[in-house]
Amino acid sequence: GTKRLPQALIVGVKKGGTRAVLEFIRVHPDVRALGTEPHFFDRNYGRGLDWYRSLMPRTLETQITLEKTPSYFVTQEAPRRIFNMSRDTKLIVVVRNPVTRAISDYTQTLSKKPDIPTFEGLSFRNRSLGLVDASWNAIRIGMYALHLESWLRYFPLAQIHFVSGERLITDPAGEMGRVQDFLGIKRFITDQHFYFNKTKGFPCLKKTQSSLLPRCLGKSKGRTHVQIDPEVIDQLREFYRPYNIKFYETVGQDFRWE
């Protein structure tokens, strides 16, 4: 095989389920994916396309090269840069309830920096007035409708596939079936590839004769979320509602986060 620039990218979102989609799709014989996040279109763009290509796995003519870097979705320059690489690039965005996503994001940061302020403290500029701090990254990422506008300047909606992070847990085979259809490959990954891990709280891959892939995602996945005051959750739901509705209308899909 030869190293090719990716024909498909998982571009977002952080803490949405991108690692799961990557690990699940890698089971497919027609997909070869980079295991690490190259951050080419946000941090390493100056290194050039040859450097980027050199990172890719070797593929046969019939195989799709794929990489995932969830921060692309919120990077202003990423859509234009990807378009300049290839206007035919297929884009996958894994989204989940923005409030849950923000809490998951905070939980991850807290595990690395135990002395950060509280979730409530970071979420609001003024909590009594209900003023949410939209500049805090954990909040900002979940404003999907806002970020999507940048992508739609370069790519038609038909070239962007949205995966529901919630359905990825309840119906992994169904969600991955749609991903395979979008990539134009046969539905190879089915129900028989998954089992539900009760401890983790999400589906894992079964080991098969042909696949020595890890059965479950790493320790950092499925962490118990920090307990948040229900009132804070309600205020954030209110904040996200208009963005969610606009997002549903734009993509023509109701993710039922309300």
**Catalytic (active-site) positions:** 15
| 199 appears as a binding residue in the annotation | no
| 109 appears as a binding residue in the annotation | no
- Alpha-carbon distance of 23 to 171, in angstroms, equals 16
Q: Which tokens hold the place of 16?
A: 């949405």
| 225 appears as a binding residue in the annotation | yes
Q: How many CB atoms are located within 10 Å of the residue 106 CB?
A: 23
For residue 78, how many C-alpha atoms fall within 13 Å in the half-sphere facing its CB? 27
| 46 appears as a binding residue in the annotation | no
| 12 appears as a binding residue in the annotation | no
Q: Using alpha carbons, select from 40, 42, 72, 45 the residue that is nearest to residue 56.
A: 40
| 187 appears as a binding residue in the annotation | no
| 201 appears as a binding residue in the annotation | no
The β-bridge relationship of strands 202-205 and 194-197 is: antiparallel
Q: Using alpha carbons, select from 93, 94, 122 the residue that is nearest to residue 226.
A: 122
| 113 appears as a binding residue in the annotation | no
Annotated binding-site members for 3'-phosphoadenylyl sulfate: 15-19, 96, 104, 221-225
Annotated binding-site members: 15-19, 96, 104, 221-225
